Amino acid sequence: DGGITQSPKYLFRKEGQNVTLSCEQNLNHDAMYWYRQDPGQGLRLIYYSQIVNDFQKGDIAEGYSVSREKKESFPLTVTSAQKNPTAFYLCASSRRTGGNVNYGYTFGSGTRLTVV
């Protein structure tokens, strides 16, 4: 079955540590996205990538980094520069956008990151 897998489901980070969240898809989608979800704030865009080896900052990119070396994978690193990283992180993928194309997202089941 095609889908998008995020791991781990729960992650604990100590102050000053970098952590990497995994996102893998086997839907043959070109585009991939990272969103952060906090209570009452909906989904806020961190980074997105339309094609391999290219990505763009979203609204809250500070303190995060990404790479897109393979079509299937879009890992997110939460660095020590991110001062308030405790949140629910969602990865999504879609067909490449443009024109009258349904580019609805397929989401993973999320990673809950907690700073301890």
Site residues, another protein (CB under 8 A): 6, 31, 33, 35, 40-45, 48, 50, 56, 58, 88, 90, 92, 97-100, 102-110, 112
Which of 65, 61, 68 lies closest to 78, judged by CA? 65
Closest approach of Cβ 102 to another protein, in Å? 5
Closest CB to another protein among residues 109, 114? 109
Closest CB to another protein among residues 15, 53? 53
In the structure encoding, which two tokens stand for residue 50, read together? Answer: 């339309």
Per DSSP, 73 falls in state B
Q: Are 18 and 38 in contact (CB under 8 A)?
A: no
Closest approach of Cβ 6 to another protein, in Å? 8
* Residue 37 CB partners (closer than 8 Å, separation 6+): 43, 44, 87, 88, 89, 90, 110
What is d(CA 13, CA 47) in angstroms, rounded to the nearest whole number? 21
Closest approach of Cβ 46 to another protein, in Å? 10
Closest CB to another protein among residues 84, 102? 102
Closest CB to another protein among residues 18, 28? 28
Closest approach of Cβ 10 to another protein, in Å? 10
